[in-house]
Every structure is written in C-alpha cells, then in structure tokens.
A = this chain, B = another copy of it.
Amino acid sequence: MLPQNINAEIITIGDEILIGQIIDSNSAWIAQQLNLLGINVYQITSISDNNKHIINALDLASSRADLILVTGGLGPTRDDLTKSTITNYFNAKLKKDETVLNHIRQLLEPKKVTVNELNIGQADVPDNCQVLHNAYGTAPGMWFEKNEKIYVFMPGVPFEMRGIVKEELLPRLKQYFKSPAIVHKTLMLQGIAESMLAKHIEPWELQLPSNIKLAYLPSPGIIRLRLTARGDSQKALAGLIDVEINKLKPLIEDWFFSEQDEQLEMVISKLLKNNNKTISTAESCTGGKLASLITSISGASEYFRGSVVAYANDIKIKILGVPAEIIATNGAVSQTVVEIMAQQARELFNTDYAIATSGIAGPEGGTPEKPVGTVWIAVSSHNQTITKMYSFGDNNRERNIQRTSSSALNELRKLILLETEGE
C-alpha cells in the first residue's frame, strides 16, 4: 500500500510536442482520471526522445512523486529509443512476450498489414515489468515497481493510451492504494471581469475553510470558478462545498449560469428541450457564430430551426423585413433595428424565442458615436422583446464576436427562465 496522499507526475516523450507540432492533450486527460481517484498530479513534463533526457526526467520525477506515468516513445519506428532506455533503467533484459505477439498478429492480420520485424519487436518487453494490455494497438503498456515507486509506460497515441488507462491502469491503482477524498465543483459565470468578481466575492473567499481552494479560469466573456475540497470523506466534502456554494450564489446571481462545467449553449439546450421551446437567430455582427455555437450541441435540431445572417443592410430589409427608413434614421447598429430583427426572426422561423445581434466587431468600422465594440443585442419571445447595449471597449474582432455571443446566449437564458419559472 502506498501512502494516502500520493503524488503523481506525468512525463510525455516526443519531439513533436517540443517543436509545437502537436498540443499535449494526453496529460490533461490523464490528470483528470487521476484526480477522480484523489491522486494529485504534482508536475507534467514534456521531454525529447533522448536517452539521457529520459533518464534524467525519471530520476527527478521519482525524487518528488510516488507514481510516474510516461506516455510516448513506444511506436514501431526507429526514432523510439524509449524501450531500450527503460530496460536499462530498471536493470532488466528484453524478452519476447508471446501473449503480446499473438495480439499484434490478431490486430494486424485483418488489416492486411504484413507483420514485419518492427511489429514483432514490439512484443519484446523488459522481463521485470507487468504488461498492461493495449487492446487498441501494438505497443504494450508496462508497469514497474522500484524503491516503492510505481512507473507506468504507455504509447502516446491517444485512443490507445486511454484504453490502457481505463481498462488496465485505473483498476490496478484503485487496488494499490486508498486515496484521500477530493471534491471539485465548477461554477460558470458570464458578463463580469475577473478582477471585479474577485473584489465582489472577497469577503466570502476569506471565510472559506482552509481545505477549500478557489481558482479563476477566465476566457472572453466567461469565467469558470472552481472550488476544490480535500479531506477524508467524499460525502462530508460534498456537503461542505454545498454549504459554501449556497453562501456564494446570492452574491453572483447576476452572472451565474451553471454549476456543471458546461457552456451556455449546453445550458440553453437543456432549457429549451425541457420546456419544449424553439429558437432562431438573426445575426449581423456575430456573422453566424451564434447559430454555430447553438448547433455545436448534438441534438440541436430538436429546438433550433435556423438563422438569417443578415450581413448586408439590404438583406436585413429584404429577408428580415426591417423597414429601410428605420435603418436610414437609426443606423443598423441601433436598438430599433435589433429589436425588429429579433421579432421578425421569431415570425419567419416560427419559433418561441429569437436572438438578434448588431454591432461593430472591428477592428475597422468604428465612429466616435459608435466605437468598435458597440453592440446591440435583442432577445424576443411571444410576450416581450428585451434589448441591451454593450460597450466592450475592445478592438479585437474575435473577442468582440465571442463576448457578443456569450452575452446574447445569457440574455436568452434569463428570458427563458423568467417566462418558464411560473409554469
């Protein structure tokens, strides 16, 4: 049995990460899996496919952690030196594993791939490791124990690595040690800056029990606020976190939209489905981004009927029926225009709700009266149309489109809640 508070480290081997050719998404996935077991990841290290570097990284990681998980460097091609390096590192000899060899043959033969010596070489494993079966590929996983530390080596191909972790590694780790309890909870907020939120909830943060940690994870328009509690009992921690969240919620109700780790388009998907309502959009400055976000959710066809991206003014007139004189008088970026766009979209698509946007995404196109970042948003239902103006004060086109989209989805969420809570 390992000690209760065990630290893990993840090492990824491969030059393609160090030259920025691929993003290391394996480590985040492994970290999530370990966290769910209560195992803390102390460090993630990406190193090159080099004998000396691998040994140095293993030495350093085992000086800090009890469990060292290594991915990468186990493919069939000659640039993978990992296996000979680790065979030496654990004072082992390579031996042919017949079970692995049979598996390699079974895997390759139906694909009409000739089993060559590179593939056969993959069945050679150090004689003092336990093989972790790789159901989805030819490179086996390997489990070593040395000086009360555990070392696990896996291939870097994501779906192969995930198969080994789920089917072989996690069951072994659960047997090997009893982990401390850990509970995470993530609150999603829209429409407030990180520093303002921090100031606003500071008194609450200062009274948090010492075993609850708070982290801010911001992106344009959205903040994820994560609470993490550690202790002995999963159940007690869940209760403790709930107590703190119940204190926090009244402070953040203007911006809070979910306590699942989910985006606004998913929250809206659930709301519309649960209430059997439909939605459409009429987009100018968001240029299709709103429709694209809404349809990124599988099953969106149940509630999303369509969108008109009315980029040119005469399209606002022709398809959405905005009177030409209203655009001439008020400009396309105006309360009246966005209000009519939303109402007309709702009628055109025959939906319960519609969202409309019109604004200046930039970086060009601003005027002194309507600088870049000026946006009007309307959300409309059978009963009412709510319009709001935003001044994002930002010249960045992509961020202005993102902020407009998240603000619009949040306004829609509020309107649906307002109208369905009494039902």
Which A residues contact B (CB, under 8 angstroms)?
Answer: 15-25, 27-33, 35, 40-48, 53, 57, 60, 75-79, 108, 110-114, 116, 118-119, 136, 138, 157, 159, 184, 186, 193-196, 198-199, 205, 213-218, 224, 226, 228, 261, 281, 283, 286-292, 294-296, 298-301, 304-312, 315, 319, 348-349, 362-365, 391-394, 396-399, 401
- Closest Cβ neighbor of A111 among chain B residues: B393
- Closest Cβ neighbor of A287 among chain B residues: B295
- Closest Cβ neighbor of A307 among chain B residues: B309
CA–CA, A19 to B185, complex, Å?
Answer: 12
**Interface pair B46/A16, CB less than 8 Å apart:** no
Question: Contacting A23 at CB < 8 Å: which of B21, B25, B136, B184?
Answer: B25
B-chain residues with CB within 8 Å of residue A319 when the two chains form the complex: 306, 308, 319, 348
- Chain A residues touching B, majority SS: mixed
**Interface pair B216/A79, CB less than 8 Å apart:** yes
Query: What is the total number of copies of this protein in its complex?
Result: 2
- Extra 9 A-B pairs, beta carbons < 8 Å, given A21-B261, A43-B53, A110-B391: A20-B30, A24-B24, A111-B393, A112-B391, A113-B193, A119-B195, A157-B218, A281-B288, A281-B309
**Interface pair B27/A31, CB less than 8 Å apart:** no
- Beyond A28-B23, A198-B77, is A311–B315 a contact (Cβ under 8 Å)? no
CB distance from A45 to the nearest CB of B (A): 5
**Interface pair A292/B295, CB less than 8 Å apart:** no
**Interface pair A298/B23, CB less than 8 Å apart:** no
- Closest Cβ neighbor of A393 among chain B residues: B110
CA–CA, A288 to B309, complex, Å?
Answer: 8
B-chain residues with CB within 8 Å of residue A23 when the two chains form the complex: 23-25, 28
CB distance from A282 to the nearest CB of B (A): 10
B-chain residues with CB within 8 Å of residue A43 when the two chains form the complex: 18, 45-48, 53, 57
**Interface pair A217/B79, CB less than 8 Å apart:** no
Question: Contacting A301 at CB < 8 Å: which of B184, B312, B399?
Answer: B312
- What are 5 A-B contacts with C-beta separation under 8 Å? A18-B31, A44-B45, A112-B391, A113-B195, A305-B311
CA–CA, A294 to B348, complex, Å?
Answer: 24
B-chain residues with CB within 8 Å of residue A394 when the two chains form the complex: 111
- Beyond A296-B398, A311-B300, A393-B111, is A138–B195 a contact (Cβ under 8 Å)? yes
CB distance from A406 to the nearest CB of B (A): 14
**Interface pair A18/B41, CB less than 8 Å apart:** yes
- Beyond A43-B45, A298-B364, A299-B364, is A289–B287 a contact (Cβ under 8 Å)? no
CB distance from A290 to the nearest CB of B (A): 7
B-chain residues with CB within 8 Å of residue A349 when the two chains form the complex: 312, 315
B-chain residues with CB within 8 Å of residue A305 when the two chains form the complex: 311-312, 315
- Closest Cβ neighbor of A365 among chain B residues: B301
